[in-house]
Structure 1
Amino acid sequence: MESPESDRFNDAPHPREQYVLFGHGDAERELLAAFRQNKMAQAWIIGGPEGIGKATLAWRLARFLSAYPDPMVIDVQRAQSLEISSQHPVSRLIQAQAFSEIFLLRREWNEKTKKFFTEIRVDDVRKIISAFHHSSGLGGWRIAIIDSADDLNRSAANALLKLIEEPPEKSLFLLISNQPGRLLPTLRSRCRKLMLNSLTQDEIIQIIDSLGKPWTKVPSDDVAVASQHADGLIREALRLLDPEAIQFHDQIMRLLRRLPQIDWMGVHQLAEKVTGRDQEAAYETLIRAVETYLDDRVRTRAKDLASATRLIGYAQAWQEIHTLAQEAEVFNFDKKALTLGIFERLAKAEAS
């Protein structure tokens, strides 16, 4: 039985199985132009919010370079996009995870705990380093996809940095990051940054329609509601296609709108729903809603020329909540206490 994949969302196709790209045409053209002009950076950070297609773009580039390793061939010079047919031999090998020149670095499955490791460990990077140096290259590219670079612990990040600084010939590193600013500064300095924007509601609807069953069986009205509440993120839209998830999202937003007043009964009820091994989706929806709330508040207050104290309060709340969430993940702390702490800090920021 195959192990679960940390970079796959539930039953949705893995990014390596996606052959259509929505919403990121400019970024795709930038990558194609860099390759066609023989100016491909050795390492790229593909950044932007979680669940907007960063990994899909990375796999699309990896597929194209693997099919056409020479930028001067006529097919590359005439290409309008990075599209490669799903029937191409390279596509078939990649989809079967049998293409030996593409290396994937991600959080691995822990058979002992039956959960994913909370970070990418230095041993994971060392395996990639060994494979990179022992790969034949086949006259083409060696490509590493790191999904996501945010999960690298410090030792792993330093080990990856060393590989980027001293790589084999024709190596390419694609670092997918939800928060590039939090990556190791020395690692960021070795990479060219490519930032992607959130998706439009229409683009999210198109993506869901392209996923096939069971997603295409969802009523169009439900898809419209999910895409409207997804903040431009396809992953969040897929979560919200569960009717209970929509209700849960609305419950979170009602509590956030009441701040700085805290409805403690409502918060306790919310906390119960994110506690437990089978509540990861609910927990992720809560964290995403809080991130979106803080982002919106900062943007709104900045436009209203709010005091520096108020803006600093939001920044401190975000930092404290981020630290609490990290500790909860690493040390398996009670998420009920985390939820209560989140609302305490948000209320404090609103009252500052």
Structure 2
Amino acid sequence: MASGDTDTYPEFDRIEGLPLPREQMRLIGHREAETMLLEAYRTDRLHHAWLIGGPKGIGKATLAFRMARFVLSHPDRDAPQLALAADLSVDPTDQSVRRILAGSHGDLLHLRRPWDEKAKRFKSFLTVDEVRRTVSFFGSTSSYGGWRVCIVDAADDMNASAANALLKILEEPPQKCLFFVLSHSPGRLLPTIRSRCRRLDLKPLSPQEISRGLEMFDRAGGDAAQAADLADGSLRRAIQLLDAGGIEVANGLDRLIAALPDPDLRQIHRFADAISDRKAEESYRIFLDLLRDWLDRRVHEDAAAGVPPARLVRWSEVWEKTNRAATLADALNLDRKQVVLGAFQALGEAASGIHAA
């Protein structure tokens, strides 16, 4: 962002009918993290770079934009009204807020996976050229004489070159700059990037908080309660479950898993056909997420029940095989149905091995 070009290509990660993080004026949950950022801004404890971690869809970008709006609307940390602020909310009619909503604030840079105009899709990673936009952004004076804020969304998408480019600017930060580096898995980032940032981990949302969010976005009732339970703390995922037929995917997966180690092959093929079509992109992604979550729960439940570690490895191997197959299918545009069928074959073999042991 930092330019008014948001109308020339699709917005990355947009869900139809929902506000983008920069447009979302309300924050669900994360009160403790919000207070920490507010108090840091009001004192001399404001670090120039914050690594905001937590699962996808729990509000990391929403919190980052909330802080960015507050800083850009209140550039003077010694202003009397700042001492009276109870949270990071701002006047929606403020000029800085209106510029951010339009995607045109000159002192806010939002780094994301760029749009590939030739391929008509988003690139698979956050490129080094995108990160190098920080050079001109921080190399010029502030557009409005205050702070300059950069949001990296998300750092997990960076390739090695992009990560090194980000590290360089973090090591030599300009005056009055703020970085918010968002990460779904902070432990996988370069240790040198982590060491340059102050860590702020967000907790997954509770089912009650997700239910409030679903109500706020007109998705209460029906399967909302089941979506909140299946969302694993992510409001975004709960909405996707409701909007993309995810509840049906979850119920179908549950039925097939309940029949392990010998589920009906015809039912598996029907299930695979339904979620592997290119038009069922979200259903396919939801299946992979739900399978990962089920395997994670199964490992923990079996471990608590005293199942030997050597047998627990079988469940971990199912996810490793499925994840490799899914990654390869995406890279080479292979048939996703084979990924789904392979996952159930691996599930059956794992269940048979554990039952026989």
- Would you call these one fold, judging by a TM-score over 0.5? yes
Distance of 1:348 and 1:196 partners within structure 2: 37
Q: Are positions 1:273 and 2:264 aligned together?
A: no
Contact 2:211-2:220 at 8 Å conserved across structures: no
- Counterpart of 1:187, as a letter, is I
- Counterpart of 1:14, as a letter, is L
Query: 1:156 maps to what in 2?
Result: 162
Q: 1:96 to 1:338 in 2, by over 3 A?
A: same
1:235-255 CA distances to partner (integer Å, 9 max, x unpaired)?
Answer: 122122248432122112222
Distance of 2:28 and 2:314 partners within structure 1: 36
1:296-323 CA distances to partner (integer Å, 9 max, x unpaired)?
Answer: 1233233334323234444444444333
Query: 2:121 maps to what in 1?
Result: 115
Give the structure-2-normalised TM-score: 0.88
How much identity, in percent, do the aligned residues show?
A: 41
Q: 1:64 to 1:268 in 2, by over 3 A?
A: same
Distance of 1:188 and 1:345 partners within structure 2: 36
Query: 1:23 maps to what in 2?
Result: 29
Query: 1:294 maps to what in 2?
Result: 295
Query: 2:3 maps to what in 1?
Result: none
Distance of 2:316 and 2:192 partners within structure 1: 24
Distance of 1:169 and 1:234 partners within structure 2: 36
Pairs within 5 Å for 1:309-320: 309-320=310-321
Distance of 2:348 and 2:47 partners within structure 1: 44
Contact 1:5-1:108 at 8 Å conserved across structures: no
Q: Are positions 1:177 and 2:183 aligned together?
A: yes
Query: 2:331 maps to what in 1?
Result: 330
CA RMSD of aligned residues (A): 2.3
1:199-233 CA distances to partner (integer Å, 9 max, x unpaired)?
Answer: 2222222212323xxxx2x5623433432332322
1:61-87 CA distances to partner (integer Å, 9 max, x unpaired)?
Answer: 111111122333222222221111222
Pick from 121, 126, 139 the counterpart of residue 133 of structure 1.
139
SS at match of 1:279: helix
Q: 1:133 to 1:322 in 2, by over 3 A?
A: farther
- Counterpart of 1:264, as a letter, is L
Contact 1:255-1:267 at 8 Å conserved across structures: yes
Give the structure-1-normalised TM-score: 0.89
SS at match of 1:99: coil
Q: Relative to structure 2, which stretch is displaced further, 314-323 or 127-136? A: 314-323
Q: Relative to structure 2, which stretch is displaced further, 70-79 or 84-93? A: 70-79
Q: Are positions 1:102 and 2:108 aligned together?
A: yes
CA deviation after TM superposition for structure 1 residue 348, in Å: 4.7
Distance of 1:279 and 1:52 partners within structure 2: 24
Larger Rg: 2
1:151-209 CA distances to partner (integer Å, 9 max, x unpaired)?
Answer: 11111111111111122212222122112222223222222222212222222222123
Distance of 2:272 and 2:22 partners within structure 1: 35
Contact 1:122-1:155 at 8 Å conserved across structures: yes
CA deviation after TM superposition for structure 1 residue 13, in Å: 0.6
- Counterpart of 2:88, as a letter, is L
Pick from 177, 202, 205 the counterpart of residue 208 of structure 2.
202
Q: 1:274 to 1:134 in 2, by over 3 A?
A: farther
Distance of 2:128 and 2:349 partners within structure 1: 38
1:16-71 CA distances to partner (integer Å, 9 max, x unpaired)?
Answer: 11111111111111222222222122222211111111111111111111112233
Structure 1 portions without partners, runs of 5+: none
Distance of 1:171 and 1:307 partners within structure 2: 51
SS at match of 2:311: helix
Contact 1:105-1:125 at 8 Å conserved across structures: yes
Pairs within 5 Å for 1:333-348: 333-348=334-349
SS at match of 1:278: helix
Query: 1:223 maps to what in 2?
Result: 224
Query: 2:256 maps to what in 1?
Result: 255
Distance of 1:242 and 1:283 partners within structure 2: 13
SS at match of 2:209: helix
SS at match of 1:120: coil
Query: 2:4 maps to what in 1?
Result: none
Structure 2 portions without partners, runs of 5+: 1-6
SS at match of 1:194: strand
Q: 1:320 to 1:182 in 2, by over 3 A?
A: farther
SS at match of 1:12: coil
